[in-house]
Homo-oligomer: A and B are copies of this chain.
């Protein structure tokens, strides 16, 4: 789960990590008031859950209230990589002497928490990683101990030489680690971390992602979620036990298991088709789940054909067939369906749906090809 910059700044403040003051605004009028209250140079920043705002023109400095309003009018409503800007942050534009990057993430390979730091702040760390990997310092943190003073100091001395800055940074690093652990984050970044003209170390922008698996114990974090339309649909599907992600194609997929669902999409693509979604109906699928899944697929007007691929293991093919029959009886399904059932109780499943005249296929490849053929017929 991602959160906005303004929410990240709130969390920084909660952990006493210094951040310049800011105000969240939804209208140019609010921006005007905020800029007037600041009565000094501000920065107006688009709040969207996607990187590269700066390049897209979503971040603007404003020396006067008028400039702030002009910036707000430009940014509010702007489209950044498919995300519409609905709010901006008006923040005190502190004077910056130097920019750094620091972040914490979980390293899959060492299975530990990793502290990352770089003197190349202010740009996306992935770019630094590609162009100059040596510029990123990576230090594993022993979670048994937490971030110790000596580790924080060691990192800080690699970024700063002035002991006054080192001491500020040590406090910030320790708090950042605490924030990371206590909130089950999967990524927290301060980018840039800066030295101001007054020799203060401050967080200017923050990026945070949280572990979805841990949200059950992170109620406050879950409350920060601001899903877009697609994500709302994903969450609604999740509540019904379905994992759903909408894509750009026209062949609606229903599969049991995430890996098989991905492989099914890949096979469709391989034969020239376009999957309309990822949809995993999960392990022990009840007939009702299949009905819910059919409803979900039918609600996407881009879907021209439905392809069902079930490999019965724990999931029983007859259950799926029964769910499908119920769905077909309940709703008006006007688009073609290709179904492949194999594994546990596949034969009984095929018998159950035999009255519905669905194309029979013998393999995943055949199913994909048939779905694509039917899709082309519709178009």
Q: Residues on A close to B: CB < 8 A? A: 144-145
Contact = CB atoms under 8 A, between A and B. Distances in A.
A75 to B, nearest CB: 46
A192 to B, nearest CB: 33
Nearest to A145: B144
A368 B145 CA distance: 50
A235 to B, nearest CB: 30
Copies in the complex: 2
A144 B144 CA distance: 5
A17 B263 CA distance: 53
A141 to B, nearest CB: 13
Contacts of A145: 144
A145 B145 CA distance: 10
2 contacts: A144-B144, A144-B145
A145 B146 CA distance: 11
Interface of A is mostly: loop
A24 to B, nearest CB: 36
A198 B349 CA distance: 55
A58 B145 CA distance: 45
2 closest pairs, A vs B, by CB?
A144-B144, A144-B145
A372 B145 CA distance: 54
Contacts of A144: 144-145
A145 B144 CA distance: 7
Nearest to A142: B144
A182 to B, nearest CB: 14
A144 B145 CA distance: 7
Nearest to A143: B144
A227 to B, nearest CB: 33
A144 B146 CA distance: 10
A230 to B, nearest CB: 38
A90 B259 CA distance: 65
Nearest to A144: B144
A12 to B, nearest CB: 25
A304 B289 CA distance: 93
A32 to B, nearest CB: 47
A261 to B, nearest CB: 34
A174 to B, nearest CB: 15
A142 to B, nearest CB: 9
A356 to B, nearest CB: 50
A20 to B, nearest CB: 32
A159 to B, nearest CB: 28
A58 B378 CA distance: 93
A181 to B, nearest CB: 13
A178 to B, nearest CB: 15
A59 B343 CA distance: 73
A321 to B, nearest CB: 41
